[in-house]
Amino acid sequence: MSIFIVTILFSTYKVYANEEIEVNAKAALMIEKNTGKIIYEKNINEQNYPASVTKILTAILTIEKCDLEEIATVSQSAISNIPSGYVIAPLYEGEQIKIKDLLYALMLKSANDAAYVLAEHVGGSVNGFSEMMNNKAKEIGCKNTHFVNPNGIHNLEHYTTAYDLYLITNYAMKNETFSKIVSTYQYTLPATNKYSYSNRIMENTNNFINPNSAYYNQNVKGVKTGTTDQAGNCLITDSADSGLEFITVVLGAETSNSKFSETRKMINYAFDNYTLTKVYGKGDIVTNIEVEKATKETKNLNLVTSEDFLVVNNINTNVADMTPEIILNENIVAPIDKGQEIGTVKYNVEGKEYTSKLFAENDVELKTYYVEISIGVGIFSVIIIILVIKKKRRG
């Protein structure tokens, strides 16, 4: 017999995304990364040129493929194919430099020559590395991304979306090395075989990381800026406080300042208006059911969560007043083992569904009556089989 406990959900709660803030960039997105809750969205699946935020994928792909102490050699092609006006470290032909140093040049100063050196070192060529980038983007879940270079130098075939960039950034920020690099304000490249001075200072172009900037924000952990005439001004940030962590994407802002001011607007709005609510803690009882064919002592079974159940909600929404939907598996009968998955609990908060699996808090034993019947049926079946066999032998 199937047991279902289903309650009616009332979805009268206001959806706040897009209603109380306005961003003038071509595309923008803000997501709470631990829950996937969208706080703001604008043209998030529209293809745009990404400029240097491309380098997020270049960096994480390099980190996954290389040892940071590996040495790469700067080729002539890596430094000669950069159009005038694009940022360089600079690096020098024949220079031998560690992958770690190239990554800091790539992500802080946004050095395009460092991107080409890494691409040739990891992928054998820019084309080879670009293919690796596109494969990695698909693996991460991107559906509207196509890259033809590792740095975002403008190309009509080099494009992505705000949502795909969120996916890439969310993936990259889970890597400790990557998150350490992009949260660094300043890094000095060491002297090398081709450059004997230690005066190549890589300063982070992200003003949220710069303690001397009016945009400095101690809650921002990175990630990357980008600018070309065709892409406009782009910025991706990761900001965290009080258990909340937001990834913000701005593409095609009108000015360099506006990419920071519009991002700051979203960050301030999110932290001022949203909170992280623990609906259930690990091991909390969500509901209780009566299990068929169970002993009297164990038939009342508590269903519990195996981890904290967290939701992101507007401060004006009282999650405690909301009624969950509980869906149980079919054919829940004894015996049941402690920790066995029994069903799911769901909450719909401001248009987003949150789910958590439910598990048995303790063992549920099979009632002796059913055990005796099962044994009796088994013995009877064996006797019948023996009698049939004997009858056949006599015949």
Task: pLDDT tens for the chain, 395 residues: list them.
Answer: 333 322 323 232 333 444 678 999 999 999 999 899 999 999 999 999 999 999 999 999 999 999 999 999 999 999 999 999 999 999 999 999 999 999 999 999 999 999 999 999 999 999 999 999 999 999 999 999 999 999 999 999 999 999 999 999 999 999 999 999 999 999 999 999 999 999 999 999 999 999 999 999 999 999 999 999 999 999 999 999 999 999 999 999 999 999 999 999 999 999 999 999 999 999 999 999 999 999 989 999 999 998 999 999 999 999 989 999 999 999 999 999 999 999 999 999 999 999 999 999 999 999 876 445 555 556 666 567 766 666 666 65
Helix or strand holding residue 71 (H, E): strand 71-73
**3-state SS assignment for residue 140:** helix
User: CA triplet 205, 209, 210: central angle to 5 degrees?
Assistant: 75
State how far the Cα of 335 lies from the Cα of 292, in Å rounded to an integer.
9
**What count of other Cβ atoms lies within 10 Å of the Cβ of residue 205?**
19
pLDDT at 387: 65
**Is position 372 within any domain?**
no
Question: Position of tokens 């809750």?
Answer: 37
DSSP-assigned states of every residue in 8-44: -----SPP-TTTS----SSEEEEEETTTTEEEEEEST
User: CA triplet 176, 216, 182: central angle to 5 degrees?
Assistant: 20
State how far the Cα of 378 lies from the Cα of 384, in Å rounded to an integer.
10
**Is position 318 within any domain?**
no
**Is position 189 within any domain?**
yes
**Is position 355 within any domain?**
no
Q: Active-site residue 110, yes or no?
A: yes
pLDDT at 231: 98
pLDDT at 4: 30
CATH number at residue 60: 3.40.710.10
pLDDT at 293: 92
CB 110 within 8 A of CB 87: yes
**Is position 83 within any domain?**
yes
Catalytic residue among 26, 42, 52, 136: 52
pLDDT at 16: 40
Tell me the chain's radius of gyration from C-alpha atoms.
29
Q: Which residues are CB-neighbours of 10 under 8 A, at least 6 positions away? A: 322, 323
State how far the Cα of 218 lies from the Cα of 195, in Å rounded to an integer.
35
Catalytic residue among 37, 98, 110, 224: 110
Q: What is the total count of domains within the chain?
A: 1
pLDDT at 372: 52
**Is position 278 within any domain?**
no
**Is position 393 within any domain?**
no
**Is position 354 within any domain?**
no
pLDDT at 378: 60
Which residues constitute the domain of residue 144?
27-253
Q: Active-site residue 293, yes or no?
A: no
The one-character DSSP state at 47 is: -
CA atoms within 13 A on the CB side of 275: 9
Catalytic residue among 26, 33, 55, 100: 55
Q: Active-site residue 391, yes or no?
A: no
